[in-house]
Amino acid sequence: ERPAVVVIGAGPAGLVLGNLLRAEGIGCLILERGTREHVQRRARAGFLAENSVRVLTGHGLAAGLLHKGQSHGVCAFRDEHGGFELDYGALGRGERHTVYPQQDLVTDLIAEFLARGGEIRFEATALDVEGADTDRPSVRYVGADGEQHRVTARFVAGCDGNLGVARRAVLDGSAARYTRDHGVGWLAILVEAPPSMTAVTYAIHENGFAGHMARSPSVTRYYLQCPPDDDPGNWPVERVWAELDDRMRTERYGPLRTGPILDLRVVRFRSDVLDPIQRGSLFLAGDAASLISPSAAKGANLAILEADVLAGALVSALAKEDEGPLAEYSATCLPRIWHAQEFSHWMIHLLHGPAGDDADAVFGRALQRARLHDLRTSRAHQDFFAENYVGI
């Protein structure tokens, strides 16, 4: 029997979508390349915006995050002129984040999807999507048995990330692609240690940006700006902590809580948006639809938003025979995708001055300081920041 919807990818996008479809009794199969253990352990993002929490709560998917998530509404900045805090939860629209590690959310979503009668095939690697322009699209994949299979559905949802096969099928249609390499890298450092500060902290320093973000009472994320094609091998443990001390100005603000480094990788800042994010019976959500730089922690929140919109549209089509919302899916999501891109771009220029001594770089760093000064002193800029930092 063919499922109504085949979803490729069990990340936040695919799993939220699958859960919302199951809630309406729609047959849904998820194909995921990794093992269950792998996806449940993969540390990624952790800051959920209020809209994401609303979607999850509204669909009975928030028990874990309401129980273990930490409410977060203050962020801090520091540079050579000193530090300041922004109580963003009390500015703008008054929205806060909930900090809940993405692997915990993914774990909750998998359990709930299975409890709702959904099926996930782990270790199933999709090879391509065929027949996207027909009403019998199919996905060819290699299963855990090492054999090739094909599954046919009424609709396919591509939630397999920016390097996935669904995105390629939409690009092979007539989608336009908007892309930019921001020329910035972050060394992302996951440390087994409690947070060193209560707030997310952004440090601006002549050596480059450094960041601190809580993940859980025992795990903390740090970031160090680095060349976009840097190799984590260039970052022995001592260099990581020395550079964090320096850029976070611990001499002035107090020491960081250190611990074993659990993960070290270089994230290259890229943006990549397709338009439209659909082709015939194939629809993209999450990183498959658009990649955003991590500067404002928008990726997972966009993924959840798109999954919610797509679920509503698929339910209209399958349960109410109204394909109008599906036809409008790209037009509904793209303005929000671009809005998030714009703010993320603004954050990139707040946190990173261009390197070098040429006139352009010196000018760029002066603009960066002016932007930070406005944020420090102007209520209008603070409201702008708060509204966009949490909202989508």
Active site (catalytic) residues: 67, 202, 294, 298, 389
Place of tokens 């999507």: 129
- Token pair in block for residue 357: 């001594």
Q: Which residues bind ligand APR (CB under 6 A)?
A: 8-14, 31-34, 39, 44-45, 102, 125-126, 159-161, 164-165, 286-288, 299-300, 303
- Cβ atoms 106, 30 nearer than 8 A: no
DSSP 390: H
Cα→Cα distances 213→57, 148, 189, 350, Å: 24, 42, 10, 17
* Residue closer to ligand APR (CB basis): 161 or 195: 161
Strands 148-152 and 138-142: antiparallel
Helix (H) or strand (E) holding 215: strand 210-216
* Cα 91 from chain centre: 23
Helix (H) or strand (E) holding 344: helix 329-351
DSSP 173: T
* Residue closer to ligand APR (CB basis): 216 or 258: 216
Give me the half-sphere count of Cα atoms (radius 13 Å) on the Cβ side of residue 129: 36
Report residue 258: phi and psi, to 5°. Answer: -95, 170
* Residue closer to ligand APR (CB basis): 89 or 161: 161
Q: CB 203 → ligand APR: shortest distance, Å?
A: 22
* Residue closer to ligand APR (CB basis): 151 or 203: 151
Give me the half-sphere count of Cα atoms (radius 13 Å) on the Cβ side of residue 2: 15
- Cβ atoms 315, 157 nearer than 8 A: no
Strands 138-142 and 125-130: antiparallel
Q: CB 373 → ligand APR: shortest distance, Å?
A: 30
C-alpha Rg value of the chain to the nearest Å: 21
Q: CB 306 → ligand APR: shortest distance, Å?
A: 8
Q: CB 159 → ligand APR: shortest distance, Å?
A: 5
Q: CB 24 → ligand APR: shortest distance, Å?
A: 20
* Residue closer to ligand APR (CB basis): 159 or 256: 159
What distance, in Å, lies between the first and last C-alpha atoms of the chain?
Answer: 38
* Residue closer to ligand APR (CB basis): 159 or 189: 159
Residue 276 CA to residue 335 CA, distance in Å, equals 12
Q: CB 80 → ligand APR: shortest distance, Å?
A: 31
